Structure 1
Amino acid sequence: MSEYPISSRTQLKRSPKKACYDKQQIREILDEALVCHVSTHWHGQPLVQPTIHWVDGDYLYIHGSSKNGLFQALLAGQPAAICVTLLDGLVFARSAFHHSVNYRSVMIYAQAELIDEEQEKRRQLDLLMERVREGRSLEARPANDTELKATAVLAFKLEEVSAKIRRGGPIDEAEDMQLDVWAGVQPITQVLGEIELD
């Protein structure tokens, strides 16, 4: 199946033409983005945390302190909502109302699974290193037993997933087209700088 099935939570009700359920397009967004926001609730309080993520097969992974409060809530069975966003441009229209942004975003709803088998946990942390720089897992000292115990790796099955994508220029009202106001798109790109050695 090349698309994720649509659920009541992933069906876009506003601007449905911007919906995307294509697995390849969604994977490209997840791979390009460096940060996701993971949210849940715990004891009546909302929790959200930005973190780096990586994808392996049908799972999205995150890591953090084993004592992390949000992780504890997820491991206690609270559902996760995970959002990834890439901002691609500022859209300037002739009216204030029609200003917008071009973006690619992904929403994931899933339950957390703890990766506690040592070999698989180390493999996933190596994949994280490779995500930030190819070959880095072979250069850096691997986690020792104490560091490994202090680190939790969580996996989220990519099953209930959707993307929302906006591309293109402004959508102006016909009566605004003659206004003496410029319109257009200012692209936004993510650029990695040169490494500053320590």
Structure 2
Amino acid sequence: MLSTTPRTTLGRKKHRAVTDRSVLYDVLDEGLICHLGIVRHGVPVVLPTGYGRDGDTLYLHGSTGAASLREAARDLDVCVTVTLLDGIVYSRSVNNHSMNYRSAVIFGKAAPVVDREPKMHGLEVLTEHLAPGSWAHARGVNAKEFAAVSVLALDLAEASVKMRAEGPDDEPEDVEADAAWAGVLPVRTVFGEPEPSADLSPGRPVPAHVTARAAAGR
């Protein structure tokens, strides 16, 4: 179960809070981009960031030259969010239009991963989250690349999940009047057909891990 803290307790729509930790894992595993929030020089900054999960650890990464990651590694509180949009809710009144979604919010201190073995593990987790099968297929990380990338580890101890998965919440008088269409327009993220690089050698087939990823997302 997710343990609530003052920072993870919902202020509104508390009935949409999810306390099952497995739902947190599901949201993080399905999402592809998180948003990392920090306060830098007194100004809030929120940036899209690549991530990957291994158990109760969330790995973030970026260039060693990225000011946001350098700031996040300085034993400061950070906030990471992942949101999955599942549908647009059309209501009979404009005010009651809404969205169906699943969202995760994680608070904590992101620790820099510097030792070679755990850092390489973090890079593998990140790679396999975005493009499963690529760690074994593509060329490995060389020394220059290893030195140029930062990896941060964030514990998932302090997290909350909120979701909406329902139809329109119309006022009774609007339902009775029945003057407009109401319902849900589902939203799905899908993968298309793989597009080979123009400089590939002729006849090179699309590898199985790429076709499997494409097929799984349809």
TM-score interval (norm. to shorter): over 0.9
Alignment of 1:111-190 (within 5 A): 111-177=109-175, 178-190=177-189
1:193 corresponding residue in structure 2: 192
Query: Could you tell me how far apart the structure 2 residues matched to 1:46 and 1:162 are?
Result: 21
Gaps of at least 5 residues in structure 1 are none
Deviation at 1:53, TM superposition (A): 1.1
CA deviations 1:47-75 (Å, max 9, x no partner) are: 11101211001111111011211111111
Residue identity in the other structure for 2:191: L
Counterpart contact for 1:21–1:161, Cα < 8 Å: no
130-139 vs 26-35, greater mean Cα deviation: 130-139
Q: Aligned with 2:85: secondary structure?
A: strand
Alignment of 1:1-198 (within 5 A): 3-177=1-175, 178-198=177-197
Q: Aligned with 2:95: secondary structure?
A: coil
2:203 corresponding residue in structure 1: none
Q: Aligned with 2:94: secondary structure?
A: coil
Query: Could you tell me how far apart the structure 1 residues matched to 2:50 and 2:19 are?
Result: 23
2:204 corresponding residue in structure 1: none
Deviation at 1:179, TM superposition (A): 2.9
Query: Could you tell me how far apart the structure 2 residues matched to 1:83 and 1:43 are?
Result: 21
Deviation at 1:133, TM superposition (A): 2.9
CA deviations 1:88-146 (Å, max 9, x no partner) are: 00000001111000000000001011111111211221222222233211111111111
Q: Show structure 1 runs of 4+ deviating over 3 A.
A: none
Deviation at 1:196, TM superposition (A): 0.5
Query: Could you tell me how far apart the structure 1 residues matched to 2:188 and 2:146 are?
Result: 35
TM-score scaled to structure 2, two decimals? 0.87
Deviation at 1:8, TM superposition (A): 0.4
Q: Aligned residue pairs: how many?
A: 196
Q: CA RMSD in A?
A: 1.0
Query: Could you tell me how far apart the structure 1 residues matched to 2:84 and 2:170 are?
Result: 24
- Counting aligned pairs with the same residue, the percent is 39
71-80 vs 106-115, greater mean Cα deviation: 71-80
Query: Could you tell me how far apart the structure 2 residues matched to 1:163 and 1:46 are?
Result: 22
Deviation at 1:192, TM superposition (A): 1.2
Residue identity in the other structure for 1:34: L
The structure with the largest helix share of the pair is: 2
TM-score scaled to structure 1, two decimals? 0.96
Query: Could you tell me how far apart the structure 2 residues matched to 1:55 and 1:152 are?
Result: 16
CA deviations 1:28-53 (Å, max 9, x no partner) are: 00000001000110211111110121
CA deviations 1:135-160 (Å, max 9, x no partner) are: 21111111111110110000100011
